[in-house]
Amino acid sequence: MGLGVEGGGTRGSSRGLLEDFAAGAGNWCSIATGPQSSGVRILGEHFGEMESQLTGSTFAIVNQKGGVGKTTTAVNLSAALASLGHRVLLIDLDPQGNATSGVGIQRASLRMSIYDVLIGGDPMFHVIQPTGVDRLDIAPSDVRLAGAEVELVPAIARESKLRNAVRSVREMYDALFVDCPPSLGLLTINALTAATGCLIPMQCEYYALEGLSSLLTTIELIRRHLNPDLVVSGVLLTMVDPRTKLSDQVAVEVRRHFGDQVYESVIPRSVRLAEAPSYGQPILGYAPDSKGAVAYLSVAREVATRIGLAPRRVESSLVEVTGAVAAATSDRRGDDQYE
Ligand code: ATP
Ligand code: MG
């Protein structure tokens, strides 16, 4: 079956900023290669610094396709990992700010956001705030971030703003998740440059793999030029509907492409998952007994194992409740109907 798997080249408007640069359309390549250029010194120092910086686990949740479950994954995976006892920072790098509102933060009430870090040079700890979930903090987004793509263009080391900013807080957390916007622009490039790995949510639908080659090319360019440690640390199948053959076929195709990089756990299509953001809660708070909650908890366990986080004892009984309810309801649909 044809799943819309993209061939070698890039398509239409999905061509990324770095690809433009690599093709010589930007000035970045000439900075990187011109030996007399002051840019070489800047970039050289920058590379020198990089070698020793990547210690924590920072995941860019990335896919330039819109609506594939990036934010849902960022919010719920962060919350699930926190509920397992780990300290987590969620960074909302999308001007839409859905991750920010998804953890119950009123964007209108924000005085500072990740915009102030990237553009204003404020330290990260000025904008980080706690959420309603124990051990989960957020660096929120605000609408000004929409202008950041343009404002960053003339900035020195513009691809590394986030990387340099998180350096000061990385040790405070077991894992950091960056929710990326649906594009391969400078914000996403900042996320990939700051990350130790990227997590790619893929919606189980016909065009799941379309645009994938642009994304992988961008990841490879960042790895080669800006962040040698960047790896694809996981592919997550989202909005899986076990009633349809298509979901199965897409899952097979994605596993054929990515092999072990695909998480065993998959995220089902679930009304509860779609409802939770309107209550400003991760699924574990909104519907801890739903299939979506169980699925994100399961992915969180896989992520923790892959990055070597030792299991923690948590006082909160939420995880146990979810596990118990999941076991009790495994044979029936309950009220968490698939759409
Ligand atoms: P964007 O590219 O616009 O940032 P995204 O990739 O972050 O989108 P989400 O916002 O997470 O995608 O999800 C898109 C829509 O699908 C949202 O309305 C969300 O509530 C819904 N959704 C996400 N995951 C599921 C799921 N497993 N089951 C049902 N609905 C889901
Ligand atoms: Mg989103």
Please work out whether the CB of residue 67 comes within 6 Å of at least one atom of ligand 1. Answer: yes
Give the per-residue pLDDT at 39.
Answer: 29
Give the per-residue pLDDT at 207.
Answer: 84
Separation in Å, CA 137 to CA 83, 125, 166, 251, 301? 12, 11, 13, 32, 19
Query: Cβ neighbours of residue 86 under 8 Å, at least 6 residues apart?
Result: 135, 174, 175, 304, 309, 312
Separation in Å, CA 76 to CA 63, 81, 199, 215? 17, 8, 14, 23
Expressed in angstroms and rounded, the spacing between residue 213 Cα and the centre of ligand 1 is 22
Please work out whether the CB of residue 240 comes within 6 Å of at least one atom of ligand 1. Answer: no
Expressed in angstroms and rounded, the spacing between residue 254 Cα and the centre of ligand 1 is 19
Give the per-residue pLDDT at 315.
Answer: 62
Report which ligand 1 atom has the smallest distance to the Cα of 201: 6
Report which ligand 1 atom has the smallest distance to the Cα of 238: 27
Give the per-residue pLDDT at 107.
Answer: 82
Please work out whether the CB of residue 241 comes within 6 Å of at least one atom of ligand 1. Answer: no
Please work out whether the CB of residue 142 comes within 6 Å of at least one atom of ligand 1. Answer: no
Choosing from 71, 236, 250 the residue with most ligand 1 atoms within 8 A of its CB, the one to mutate for a pocket test is 71
What is the number of residues in the chain?
339
Residue 184 CA, chain-centre distance (Å), reads 13
Give the per-residue pLDDT at 119.
Answer: 95
Angle at 52 between CA 26 and CA 148, to 5 degrees: 35
Please work out whether the CB of residue 71 comes within 6 Å of at least one atom of ligand 1. Answer: yes
Expressed in angstroms and rounded, the spacing between residue 68 Cα and the centre of ligand 1 is 6
Please report the domains of the chain, with CATH numbers, ordered by start residue: 56-309+316-328 (3.40.50.300)
Query: Cβ neighbours of residue 325 under 8 Å, at least 6 residues apart?
Result: 288, 289
Q: How far apart are CA 34 and CA 184, in angstroms?
A: 26
Expressed in angstroms and rounded, the spacing between residue 93 Cα and the centre of ligand 2 is 9
State the CB neighbour count (10 A cutoff) for residue 51.
9
DSSP 173: -
Residue of minimum CA distance from atom 23 in ligand 1? 69
Tokens standing for residue 164: 């340099």
Q: How far apart are CA 315 and CA 84, in angstroms?
A: 10
| Phi and psi based region of residue 137 (left: phi greater than 0; alpha: psi -120 to 50; beta: remaining) | beta
Please work out whether the CB of residue 68 comes within 6 Å of at least one atom of ligand 1. Answer: yes
Residue 92 CA, chain-centre distance (Å), reads 9
Please work out whether the CB of residue 57 comes within 6 Å of at least one atom of ligand 1. Answer: no
Expressed in angstroms and rounded, the spacing between residue 273 Cα and the centre of ligand 1 is 9
Choosing from 64, 72, 93, 273 the residue with most ligand 1 atoms within 8 A of its CB, the one to mutate for a pocket test is 72
Residue of minimum CA distance from atom 19 in ligand 1? 274
Q: How far apart are CA 215 and CA 145, in angstroms?
A: 22
Report which ligand 1 atom has the smallest distance to the Cα of 277: 20
Residues of the chain falling short of pLDDT 50: 1-55, 317, 320-335, 337-339
Expressed in angstroms and rounded, the spacing between residue 292 Cα and the centre of ligand 1 is 12
Three-state SS for 255?
Answer: helix
Q: How far apart are CA 204 and CA 244, in angstroms?
A: 10
Give the per-residue pLDDT at 44.
Answer: 28
- For residue 73, the ligand closest to its alpha carbon is 1
Q: How far apart are CA 339 and CA 335, in angstroms?
A: 11
Query: According to DSSP H, which parts of the chain are helical?
Result: 17-22, 28-33, 38-51, 70-83, 98-102, 114-118, 148-152, 161-166, 186-194, 212-225, 245-258, 271-275, 283-286, 291-306, 318-328
Give the per-residue pLDDT at 316.
Answer: 52
Please answer whether residues 195 and 60 qualify as being in contact, where contact means their C-beta atoms are separated by less than 8 angstroms: yes
Give the per-residue pLDDT at 109.
Answer: 85
Residue 268 CA, chain-centre distance (Å), reads 18
State the CB neighbour count (10 A cutoff) for residue 241.
16
